[in-house]
Structure 1
C-alpha cells in the first residue's frame, strides 16, 4: 500500500491569463495537493475545470435521500474504495480558497461519482486545471438546511 503525501515539490504551471495546471505523481494526495496549489498560486475564487488521472483508492461521499435531516451524518453515504480507479472527471468551485470538488471514477466494473474526499492517492498520474476568477470573491455559508452554498463576500 502506498503512503500518500501532499506533493510539496509537485509541478504546477501558471499561465498569464489565470490558469494553473497541477501535475501529480504516484502517491500524491489529490485533494490535498489541489489545496496546496490553490495556496501556492493565491487562488481565492476559481474553478477546477478539468481533472483526470488514476487513483489507487477513491474516497467520496454523496447524498442518497431527498429529505434533509438535521444530522448531516444521516444525509451522506461515504465510500472508501480500494483498487485502481480511472478518474474521468474532477470539477468544482473554489470559494474562499477552499475547493468543493466532485469526481467520477471507473474501476473496470463499476462507475461511481460524488464529492471528492481527502486521502485519494494518485496511482499513475493526476492532471488538474484550475481557473482563477478575478474580480469576484465567494464564500460558502450554510442555508436553512445546513447546506453550504455559495454567497458573494
Structure 2
C-alpha cells in the first residue's frame, strides 16, 4: 500500500446536470474549466436514461472487463471515487425497475431528468495515475 496526503480541501463544486447531459463528460469539462486537478466526489444522485459502465469478470493477473450499456429509466443512487491529475475515476450504483448494478462509470452515461453531483478539491497533491505491468492503475508522484 502507498499513501499520499494532501494539504487540505479547496473549492466545493456542485453540478446540476439537466436532461440529455452526459455525466462523465460534463464533470470532466467543469474540472478542466475550473482548473481542478485533484478532488473527491462527495455526493451524486439523479436519474438516467442511459448508463454505460464496465466491471471486472474474473481473477486474471490483468483485468478483463465487461462493458455494459443500459437504456431504461435508471436511478443513480451513488457515485464514488477520486479525481487524480484532472481525470475522474468513479464507480456508480444504479438501478432500473428490476435490478441493481455497480461498475466503473463510462462516457455516454446520460441524464433523463437531473443529476446533482458535488466534488471537493484536494489541495497539495501532485499525483498521476499510470498503469503497472499488469495493466492496473496505480498512483505516482509527479
TM-score by length of 2: 0.89
1:43 to 24, 36, 44: 36
Runs of 4+ in 1 over 3 A off after TM superposition: none
Q: What is the CA distance between 1:81 and its match in structure 2?
A: 0.7
* Equivalent position of 2:105 in the other structure: 116
Structure 2 segments unaligned to the other structure (5+ residues): 1-8
What residue in structure 1 maps to residue 26 of structure 2? 33
More strand by share: 2
Residue of structure 2 equivalent to 1:142: 131
After TM superposition, the structure 1 = structure 2 runs for residues 10-89 of structure 1, keeping only pairs within 5 Å, are 17-69=10-62, 75-89=64-78
For residues 28-60 of structure 1, what are the alpha-carbon distances to aligned partners after superposition, in whole Å with 9 as ceiling and x for unaligned? Answer: 000000001101211101111211111101100
Task: Output the aligned Cα RMSD.
Answer: 1.4
Structure of higher RCO (CA pairs closer than 8 Å, 6+ residues apart): 2
Report how far residue 17 of structure 1 moved. Answer: 4.4
The size of the alignment, in residue pairs, is 134
